[in-house]
Structure 1
Amino acid sequence: MRRRGFTLIELLVVIAIIAVLVALLLPAVQQAREAARRSQCKNNLKQLGLALHNYHEQSNMLPLGNIASAEWGWGASWYIRILPQLDQGPVFNKLNFNGTQPGWAWNGDASGGNNGAALSGVRLGVTVCPSSPLKDMRSAGDYNIAHPQYYGIMGATNGNGFTNPSNRLASVGGCCDSQAAAGIVSGGGSFGPLLGVGFKDLVDGTSTVIVVGESSSPIWSAPLAAGGSKTVDVQGVHGILMGSPTLSSVEGCPGCQFDRQFNLTTVRYSPNAQAVINDVANWPGISDNYGVNKPLNSQHTGSINVLLGDGSVKTINDSINMLTLRQLCTRDDGGAVGDF
């Protein structure tokens, strides 16, 4: 007796059932994958926090936003100082801080001590959010330099600069206008060029001061109505190496002028703000390689991850009150932030 095969209708029914099951299961699988990526992102920040605490234990302060020996030059970033704490001691020992521009990575410029060559090809997974579409390495001439996706927090501003002290939200460092894309640089946070801050200086409490924030998503090349797309990486080509110019000290700020800041940001905009590159009129402080008010953003739906001074990691919703966010980014404003 011959077995009867499936009819066409039966096959179509089976295919339809499989398609429905896939449609139902795929979002759950995607959500599970994103949850794992978000968890890894938070773990990255915890590892950075541990490295910063170990550095602080040895130096009694957090690393400077830049490291340079000359009167003027591009200093190396705070990331460079914690390389030994990130199990990259051999790489750190190859770096030369006696050059006039130790933060310069491009093509072995002698003034930079050829630090680009020492860092070329060195990947630091702990500095990269796995949800990010941005490149973790970028070319600086002949070298491939790691590009971190977490920024040290210099402080915050409400956009009024230092002309109105009552709006500074920082009683120690204050803010100064910056020439970089009409941005504003603050000295009221945890990091700053030539500004050594210790945990004792986080007088608002280490559990209520953001030390490092996530900036792992592209921003808009132009407004959507003008044909823009969300594709721009705001990190410069020097990546993890570059900090800021030596003279960019914000403490006291007498007659100061500011230039670009790398691996640092002064918080000015809400998390995941739909920022547009080089639009000084509407989005001052944001540029493709020298903005000082780079937005905190991520590919995590509706939120970003941040590292607090006590080493804990917190998820901040996009809807956070901006006053609360500014207070969290300022070490000594005295504001009571409550739950956030």
Structure 2
Amino acid sequence: MKTLNISRKRSGFTLIELLVVIAIIGVLVGLLLPAVQQAREAARRSACGNKMKQNALAMHTYADAHKSLPTATDRKIAKGGGTNAGWSTFVVHLMPFIEMSTTFDKMDLGTVAQTSGTKQSGQSVSNWTALAPVNQADPIYTAQFCPSNPFAFSGQMLDGTYNNNNKRHGGRCYDVCLGPSGFPSKPPDCASANSFCSRHANWWWASTNDVSSEKSTPGVFNWAFDFPIEFKFITDGLSNTFLLLERRPEIAVWSGMYRQEQLGVTTAIRPNSSTINEDPTMIKNNSVRTTNSGASSYHPGVFATSTADAGVHFLSDTIDFEVYNYLGNRMDGNSLGRLP
């Protein structure tokens, strides 16, 4: 009599084997995810640097056409007088050089940017609102926002409000360098005057209407009044002087795209300073506006800069503070050599 030998074929994995496979996959994902995130940030950082480069080159093209760099703002009044209803930023004057000539030609720069504030006799509110960007694809947004910034394109502030509610604000990630000072209150990282970081009233606001002297501010730009300079006044050398610095627009509540009120980045505050105040209920206070006016970014450990020769550099947040301020000053006599 024959005996039947029935063998059972294995039809699947055991529970233990499945758990082992899942664990292995989890470990691999854990190892690969940081690498993927780093690769994505590297791509965003590269794009961010390229955009800063385009803005710096646009300034050079502007200088070729106008024999001077664009002024940070076209405000022409002295402290406590004149119109205060809004002034255009350097971004407006760069528009013909960043493929936005059509919009620029339609803008009425003889009018003011908002309904509030003091206007000159017969002066009306501008048409900027109707011409301002309305979506992320607008060239002005794509030219002025860093892809690493999670607030990019939205115009949203830390308190949840939108700074571009009238389509004239919106902020920008690439801002002009004011040098070692530039604001009325003392920056927390430079509370007392020293050899490289100090404060003078005319550096942040003209005491008279005559602000034509090229020595009235140490940086290439001034935040408070019309101050166009020629390259020849950058006596430390174009490769040794900051032109643009990266900033996070969501922490600078009045950092407008078209309209100016809080403009520029001061080197008197350390890059990504620990003094940055991110309390949503506080960012509109004047003291916080000063604190948050240093260079800042979402790049781990670095921030983007452009020197006046249009070179782009990513510098460490821990850059020597004295060296940093020398780079912000266009005429202190300190030539520091080639930047990384």
TM range (shorter): 0.7 to 0.9
Task: State yes or no: 1:153 paired with 2:181.
Answer: no
Task: State the match for 2:47 in structure 1.
Answer: 40
Looking at structure 1, the residues matched to 66 and 178 of structure 2 have their Cα atoms a distance apart, in angstroms, of 19
**CA RMSD of superposed structures (Å):** 3.4
2:219 to 186, 189, 198: 189
Task: State the match for 1:256 in structure 2.
Answer: none
2:232 to 169, 194, 200: 200
2:130 to 117, 124, 132: 117
Looking at structure 2, the residues matched to 324 and 25 of structure 1 have their Cα atoms a distance apart, in angstroms, of 38
- Going from structure 1 to structure 2, the CA distance change for 1:148 and 1:169 (only over 3 Å counts) comes to same
Looking at structure 2, the residues matched to 12 and 271 of structure 1 have their Cα atoms a distance apart, in angstroms, of 47
Segments ≥4 residues shifted beyond 6 Å: 160-165
Task: State yes or no: 1:143 paired with 2:167.
Answer: yes
Kindly state the Cα deviation for residue 278 of structure 1 after the two structures are TM-superposed: 9.7
Looking at structure 1, the residues matched to 204 and 141 of structure 2 have their Cα atoms a distance apart, in angstroms, of 33
Looking at structure 2, the residues matched to 131 and 177 of structure 1 have their Cα atoms a distance apart, in angstroms, of 33
Kindly state the Cα deviation for residue 337 of structure 1 after the two structures are TM-superposed: 2.1
- Going from structure 1 to structure 2, the CA distance change for 1:293 and 1:198 (only over 3 Å counts) comes to farther
- Going from structure 1 to structure 2, the CA distance change for 1:52 and 1:177 (only over 3 Å counts) comes to closer
Looking at structure 2, the residues matched to 292 and 5 of structure 1 have their Cα atoms a distance apart, in angstroms, of 63
Kindly state the Cα deviation for residue 269 of structure 1 after the two structures are TM-superposed: 1.2
- Going from structure 1 to structure 2, the CA distance change for 1:306 and 1:296 (only over 3 Å counts) comes to same
More strand by share: 1
Task: State yes or no: 1:55 paired with 2:79.
Answer: no
Range that drifts further, 58-67 or 113-122:
113-122
Contact 2:96 2:104 in 1 (8 A): yes
Looking at structure 2, the residues matched to 305 and 27 of structure 1 have their Cα atoms a distance apart, in angstroms, of 22
Task: State the match for 1:210 in structure 2.
Answer: 242
Matched ranges for 1:172-187 at <5 A: 175-176=203-204, 187=217
Range that drifts further, 15-24 or 155-164:
155-164
Q: Deviations over 1:91-136 (max 9, x none)?
A: 111211111x24x488xx9733121221141442121111112242
Secondary structure at the counterpart of residue 295 of structure 2: coil
Structure with greater Cα Rg: 2
Task: State the match for 2:295 in structure 1.
Answer: 296
Unmatched tracts of structure 2, length 5 or more: 1-7, 156-161, 207-215
Kindly state the Cα deviation for residue 151 of structure 1 after the two structures are TM-superposed: 1.2
Aligned length: 291
Looking at structure 1, the residues matched to 170 and 326 of structure 2 have their Cα atoms a distance apart, in angstroms, of 31
Task: State yes or no: 1:78 paired with 2:78.
Answer: no
Task: State the match for 1:315 in structure 2.
Answer: 314
Task: State the match for 1:248 in structure 2.
Answer: none
TM-score normalised to the size of structure 2?
0.75
Amino acid paired to 2:173 = Q
Task: State the match for 1:268 in structure 2.
Answer: 268
